[in-house]
Amino acid sequence: EPLVEVRGIGKRYGNIIALHDVSTTVGAGEVTCVLGDNGAGKSTFIKILAGAHDYTEGELLVDGKPTHFASPRQALDAGIATVYQDLAVVPLMPVWRNFFLGSEATKDVGPVKRLDVKFMKETTKAELAAMGIDLRDVDQAIGTLSGGERQCVAIARAVYFGARVLILDEPTAALGVKQSGVVLRYIAKARERGLGVVFITHNPHHAHPVGDRFVLLRRGRSMGDFTKDEVSLAE
C-alpha cells in the first residue's frame, strides 16, 4: 500500500481551475517527480499535500485512508513534511541551532533537557554524515553553507523529526550543476532510507536519474503518471 495516493485530485480557486484530475502514488522508498512549467499547478499540488489548501475534487489517501488536512500541522503529524524553496532558516544562526529550531529540544520538555548543546551538535553532525554530508563545523552560521548543503540540512531535519514523506519544492531550481548534484544525491539517500519523496521540479534532467514515477502537469492538467520505463521509452 502506498504512503500517499492521489486519485483524480483537483483544486479550484473560484472560477479558476488550478489543478484537475491528477492521480499518482508515493510509495516508501520511491521518488515521485512532479514536472511542469510555471503555472502548471505544481504549487497547488504541494499545498494540497502539505495541508495548506484543501482540494475540491478527487481524493487524497494517506495510508489508504481518505484524508482532508485542515492545516499544515496535521500533514506534518501524518508524517508529511514539506521543504520549501525559500528555506525557513535563520542565516546567522549555527547549523545545529537551525537543525533544532522550534523543536522540543530547545524547550524544557521531554527527554532532552533545554539547550543540551552537545547533544544537538552531535546529532546534527551524525544526521548529516549519515546522508553523506560531512560538515567539519556545525557551529558555523548556516548562511555560510552552499545552497545545496542548506537544502540538505532542511531535508535531514525533516527526516530526523519523523517525516515518512518528503515534499521537496524545486530544491534544485536556484542551484548550479554541482550543488544540484549534492541535492540529487541526498534525495537518493532519502529514498534508500525508505522515505517516500515527492520531487517537484521543472527540470526533467534532474528528475530522471532519481525518479521512480513521473507526473507531468501542463496548465493544471495531468498529462499522465508514468513509470521510469515509460518516460525512458518516450525519449
Question: Does residue number 42 form part of the binding site for ligand ADP (CB under 6 A)?
Answer: yes
β-strand pairing of 165-169 with 80-83: parallel
Q: Which of 23, 29, 52, 127 binds ligand ADP (CB under 6 A)?
A: 52
Give the shortest CB-201-to-ligand ADP separation in angstroms: 11
Give the shortest CB-193-to-ligand ADP separation in angstroms: 28
Cα dist. 20→43, 228, 232 in Å?
13, 23, 25
Cell of 200: 517537484
Question: Does residue number 40 form part of the binding site for ligand ADP (CB under 6 A)?
Answer: yes
- CB of 28 within 8 A of CB of 164? yes
Residues 6+ apart with CB under 8 A from 118: none
Strand order from edge to edge, sheet including 80-83: 65-66, 57-62, 4-13, 16-26, 221-227, 213-218, 30-35, 196-201, 165-169, 80-83
3-state secondary structure of 17: strand
Q: Which of 1, 15, 16, 108 binds ligand ADP (CB under 6 A)?
A: 16
Give the shortest CB-14-to-ligand ADP separation in angstroms: 7
Residue 80 or 153 with smaller CB distance to ligand ADP: 80
Residue 171 or 220 with smaller CB distance to ligand ADP: 220
Residue 42 or 164 with smaller CB distance to ligand ADP: 42
How many residues form the binding site for ligand ADP (CB under 6 A)? 13
Element (H, E) at 148: helix 147-160
Question: Does residue number 70 form part of the binding site for ligand ADP (CB under 6 A)?
Answer: no
**Residues at the contact surface with ligand ADP, assessed by CB under 6 A:** 13, 16, 18, 36, 38-44, 52, 220
